[in-house]
Amino acid sequence: MKKIDLRSDTVTVPTQEMREAMVSAEVGDDVYGEDPTVNRLEAVTAEKVGKEAGLFVTSGTQGNLIAILAHCSKGDGAILGMDSHIYNYEGGGIAAIAGVLPLLVDDTGGIMSEDSIKKWCRPHDVHFAPARLLCLENTHNRQGGNAVSPQDFKEVAVAAKEEGLSVHLDGARIFNAAVAWGVDVKEYTSVVDSVQLCLSKGLGAPVGSILCGSAEFIERARHWRKRLGGGMRQAGVIAACGLIAIEKMVNRLEEDHKNAALLAELLEDGGLLVEKPRKRTNMVYFVVKGEENKVKTLADRCAAKGVLFNALSEGRFRLVTHLWIDEKDVKEAAKIIIEEASCC
Ligand code: TLP
């Protein structure tokens, strides 16, 4: 039975072109700065997002953690959305490793209000952890994969900078946001100090993220990456896939968005409660109400029929389209999900 895997765009396996690029990649010791493929990937990505320098890191989680470490000192505060990936899904690294205090704000819709940020920017007082950093996320995973508009994003980033904060973007899927709004990615990245973007999600590379920022910031970030054990030696083998991801896979994200829109429409037509983000990208969240036991087993029952997806919380489910999902898969998945959900 063919599996239709909608758990995440992280499940994408490398394309044939990527596999061939790995075989012929020119490599060297990247800790000495001597891996030409890594160097090229870092330079190409930094240029695309309009920053001075880039750093190849093992994962989005590592990229975000390094950014926090490079922007903050122990005991500082970082303003984070309550629904942000950094706060919810990165193992508490911000606390465990960086010793930085999350200053939480409501990010319903994918972005916080300017006022909520300003409330944390209090005058110096020995009682307070000083707010140093604002972390934004776009697209916003737990908020339905919503692509925050360039204008809303810019307003908040500029307001934070006026308060003297540094701004980091968890741009795991920032190219999805740019494609969804039909803008150059720099519309987002030009207003932040640092951005982490994932090569291993919709862009299809097997491993890795790039953290970008000023040359001086990336120097500090490189030191933190080493301290965290993330110096990777002949990493050109995987960076070769990253180059294909960044140079050739961005435009096809539109296809994933089309498939997600179709999936949302089919599920809705089938009577399911589908969440409607302002700008959908490659995610579809839906909610099922019904007998507790049956709702709980929905994902497992669909998996038994070849359709894989994740339950986020009881009754709330997420489907993610990607490189290896086509229109036929979408139709088949919708049929099975509707059938199984109707038994709840
Ligand atoms: N997200 C994963 C899971 O961890 C939930 C997924 O399947 O969506 N920022 C954002 C916004 C992310 O969605 C993710 C991964 C990361 C950071 C972390 O990236 P990795 O998995 O490379 O550490």
Q: Is residue 198 lining ligand 1, measured as CB closer than 6 Å?
A: yes
C-alpha 85 to ligand 1 mean position (Å): 7
| Beta-strand pair 283-287/316-320 | antiparallel
C-alpha 57 to ligand 1 mean position (Å): 14
pLDDT for 301 equals 96
C-alpha 61 to ligand 1 mean position (Å): 7
Full pLDDT tens readout for the chain, 344 residues: 789 999 999 999 999 999 999 999 999 999 999 999 999 999 999 999 999 999 999 999 999 999 999 999 999 999 999 999 999 999 999 999 999 999 999 999 999 999 999 999 999 999 999 999 999 999 999 999 999 999 999 999 999 999 999 999 999 999 999 999 999 999 999 999 999 999 999 999 999 999 999 999 999 999 999 999 999 999 999 999 999 999 999 999 999 999 999 999 999 999 999 999 999 999 999 999 988 888 999 999 999 999 999 999 889 999 999 999 999 999 999 999 999 998 88
Nearest CA to ligand 1 atom 3: 89
Q: Is residue 61 lining ligand 1, measured as CB closer than 6 Å?
A: yes
Nearest CA to ligand 1 atom 21: 60
Number of C-alpha atoms within 13 angstroms, CB side, residue 114?
13
pLDDT for 205 equals 98
Q: From the alpha carbon of 59, which atom of ligand 1 is closest? A: 22
pTM score of the predicted model: 0.97
**Radius of gyration, alpha carbons of the chain:** 20
196 neighbors 170 (Cβ within 8 angstroms): yes
Q: Which CATH class is domain 16-248?
A: alpha beta
Token match 């090569």: residue?
199
CATH, domain range 252-341: 3.90.1150.10
C-alpha 37 to ligand 1 mean position (Å): 25
pLDDT for 290 equals 87
- Residue spans per domain, the chain: 16-248, 252-341
C-alpha 122 to ligand 1 mean position (Å): 31
C-alpha 87 to ligand 1 mean position (Å): 11
Q: Is residue 85 lining ligand 1, measured as CB closer than 6 Å?
A: yes
